[in-house]
Structure 1
Amino acid sequence: MSRLRNKGWVLPASLVLALLFTLLPLPQLLQPLRPYWLALVLAYWVIETPDRVGLGFAFCIGLFADVMFGGILGEQALRLVVLTFILQRFRARIRFFPLSQQALAIGGLLFNDRIIDAAIHLLAGEPMLPWSYWWAPLLGMALWLPLYVMLDSVRLGKRGR
């Protein structure tokens, strides 16, 4: 039997959990610190299984999230496609970085995502997000290591001892 068992349920389950974490209510004070869970989980899958997760997949997940959260239709789709495109372009380098350097790259991508989000809000004539929302990419960067290790262990079937 192959070392990599067929665990096709891990990808959809992780995306559903990311969507649910995004829906969890937070106190108003912590709301700006909410990491972009969907982008973090999608980034893991783009890096580890690029044959299963690509631009079309990111676009569909983004549209689903837009409908689910009631935001501007296409906003999250655009943000996730840009993130996926950059990750696909630099996947060969990022994949072999140590996890600490991967976290820095993911932090940069999440910061880029905030810039795209701010531009979309500006173009749509919506009020700009407060400055405190710029802290979320740092939290996402800090969460990359535990998220990566957890998803990797579930995907590969490793058990902690």
Structure 2
Amino acid sequence: MSRLRTGWILPASIVVALLLGLLPLPDVLQPLRPYWLALVLAYWVIEAPEHAGLGFAVIVGLLADLMFGSLLGEQALRLVIMTFILQRFRARLRFFPLSQQSLAIGGLLLNDRIVQLAVHVALGEPTLPWNYWWAPLLGMLLWPPVFVLMDALRLQRRG
């Protein structure tokens, strides 16, 4: 029964994250675009692992690849790696204060950029400019408000 009542929040949050990723930004702000999809998926992996796992990360990543026009499987690989690490450390990470969770999420987002760089280098694709490395820092700063908002939505529907 609880899955029926809270079932719409997970797909709706993924759709919103995908739309935020497609939102046009000025050229100056483009390098600062946080990886919204990773932030939302990280929340669900930490707080509701029975609904969001490795298979879910693959599906969401492939959908993102299709929507963003990136190399098919690149975002799926990046999200699966992030999800695997989160699942491995979920028991500890879940009880960290938000400030420490932010640091961990920042590390995961930085790792995501490194994986993205490795994929692009391995395939001979152009790499991102240096200023795109600021996005993990912004994602780390956005983690507390994203977490609090998602938690409020999830817990409001439960009660």
Superposition pairs of residues 12-51 of structure 1, within 5 angstroms: 12-51=11-50
Counterpart-to-counterpart distance in 1, 2:16 and 2:103: 24
Counterpart CA distance in 2 for 1:114 and 1:3 is 36
C-alpha distance in 2 between matches for 1:124 and 1:115: 14
Per the normalisation by structure 2, the TM-score is 0.95
**Structure 2 unaligned blocks of 5 or more:** none
CA displacement at 1:3 relative to structure 2: 9.8
Correspondence list, 1:94-113, <5 A: 94-113=93-112
**Aligned alpha-carbon RMSD (Å):** 1.6
- The structure with the greater share of residues assigned to helix is 2
**One-letter code of the match for 1:65?**
A
Counterpart CA distance in 2 for 1:70 and 1:154 is 30
Deviation at 1:6, TM superposition (A): 2.4
Find the residue that maps to 1:157 and give its secondary structure: helix
Residue type at the aligned position of 1:78: L
The whole-number CA distance in structure 2 between the counterparts of 1:157 and 1:98 is 21
Identity of aligned residues (%): 69
**For the structure 1 residues 8 and 99, does the alpha-carbon distance in structure 2 shift closer, same or farther, using more than 3 Å as the test?**
same
1:77-96 equivalences in 2 (<5 Å): 77-96=76-95
Runs of 4+ deviating beyond 3 Å? 2-5
Shift of 1:129: 0.5
Q: What is the number of residues matched between the two proteins?
A: 157
CA contact under 8 A between 1:18 and 1:37: conserved in structure 2?
yes
Distance 1:3 1:52 in 2: 12
Distance 1:96 1:4, change over 3 A: farther
The equivalences for 1:108-147 within 5 A come to: 108-147=107-146
How far apart in 2 are the matches of 1:72 and 1:29? 24
Residues 45-96 of structure 1: CA deviation (Å, up to 9, x unaligned):
0000001110000001101110111110100000000000000000000000
Distance 1:138 1:96 in 2: 22
Following TM superposition, by how much is the alpha carbon of 1:123 offset from its aligned partner in structure 2, in angstroms? 1.0
Q: Which region of structure 1 is more displaced relative to structure 2, 120-129 or 16-25?
A: 120-129
Structure 2 equivalent of residue 11 of structure 1: 10
Q: Give the corresponding residue for 2:151.
A: 152
2 CA distance for matches of 1:26 and 1:123?
Answer: 28
> Which residue identity is paired with 1:91?
R
Q: 1:98 to 1:78 in 2, by over 3 A?
A: same
What residue identity is the alignment partner of 2:94?
R
